[in-house]
Chains A and B, each alone.
Chain A
Amino acid sequence: MSTPDSELDKHLRALFSGLDTGADFDARLMARLRAESQIGATERAMLARQQERVRYRRALSELQNWRRSMLRLLTLDTLGIALLLVVAVVTAWPRLSRDVMGISRQYGPYIVTLLSVLIAAVPLLGMWAEQTRRPIRLL
Chain B
Amino acid sequence: MLTDARALELVRSERRDEAIALLLPAFRRKVFGLAYSFLRDREAAEDVTQDVFIKVWRALPGFDGRASLSTWIYAIARNASLSALRARRSQSSLSDPDVMDAVEAIDPAPSADDIVDRAALLRLVDQLPTKQRQVIMLFYMEEQSHEGVANMLAMPVGTVKTLLHRARARMSAAAGK
Please provide the chain B residues from 47 to 71 with a CB less than 8 Å away from any CB of chain A in the complex.
49-50, 53-54, 57-58
- Is A22 part of the binding interface, using a Cβ–Cβ cutoff of 8 Å? yes
Find out whether the CB atom of B140 lies under 8 angstroms from the CB atom of A25: no
- Is A44 part of the binding interface, using a Cβ–Cβ cutoff of 8 Å? no
Q: Mark B9-35, 1 if CB is under 8 A from A, else 0.
A: 000000001001100100011001100
Question: Assuming A8-B172, A8-B175, A11-B121, is B29 touching A20 (CB within 8 A)?
Answer: yes
Chain B residues contacting A33 (CB-CB under 8 Å) are: 17, 20, 53-54, 57
- Is B38 part of the binding interface, using a Cβ–Cβ cutoff of 8 Å? no
**A28 to nearest B CB, angstroms?**
7
- Is B122 part of the binding interface, using a Cβ–Cβ cutoff of 8 Å? yes
Find out whether the CB atom of B168 lies under 8 angstroms from the CB atom of A5: yes
Chain B residues contacting A19 (CB-CB under 8 Å) are: 29, 32-33, 36, 103, 106, 137, 141
- Of the candidates A8, A11, A16, A37, the one having the most CB atoms from chain B within 10 angstroms of its own CB is A16
The count of residues in chain A whose C-beta lies closer than 8 Å to any C-beta of chain B is: 25
Find out whether the CB atom of B117 lies under 8 angstroms from the CB atom of A11: yes
- Is B131 part of the binding interface, using a Cβ–Cβ cutoff of 8 Å? no
Find out whether the CB atom of A21 lies under 8 angstroms from the CB atom of B121: no
Chain A residues contacting B58 (CB-CB under 8 Å) are: 36
| Residue from A5, A15, A25, A32 within 8 A of B172 (CB atoms) | A5
Interface of B, secondary structure class, is: helix
Chain B residues contacting A5 (CB-CB under 8 Å) are: 168, 172
| Residue from A12, A14, A22, A32 within 8 A of B136 (CB atoms) | A12
| Residue from B33, B118, B137, B171 within 8 A of A8 (CB atoms) | B171
- Is B46 part of the binding interface, using a Cβ–Cβ cutoff of 8 Å? yes
Q: Mark A1-39, 1 if CB is under 8 A from B, else 0.
A: 000110011011111111111100110111011001100
Whole-angstrom distance between the alpha carbons of A15 and B121 in the complex?
A: 8
**A22 to nearest B CB, angstroms?**
6
Find out whether the CB atom of B32 lies under 8 angstroms from the CB atom of A16: no
Find out whether the CB atom of A25 lies under 8 angstroms from the CB atom of B136: no
What is A's interface to B at a CB cutoff of 8 Å? 4-5, 8-9, 11-22, 25-26, 28-30, 32-33, 36-37
What is B's interface to A at a CB cutoff of 8 Å? 17, 20-21, 24, 28-29, 32-33, 36, 46, 49-50, 53-54, 57-58, 103, 106-107, 117-118, 121-122, 125, 136-137, 140-141, 143-144, 168, 171-172, 175-176
CB pairs A–B below 8 angstroms (6 shown): A16-B136, A16-B137, A19-B103, A29-B20, A32-B50, A32-B54
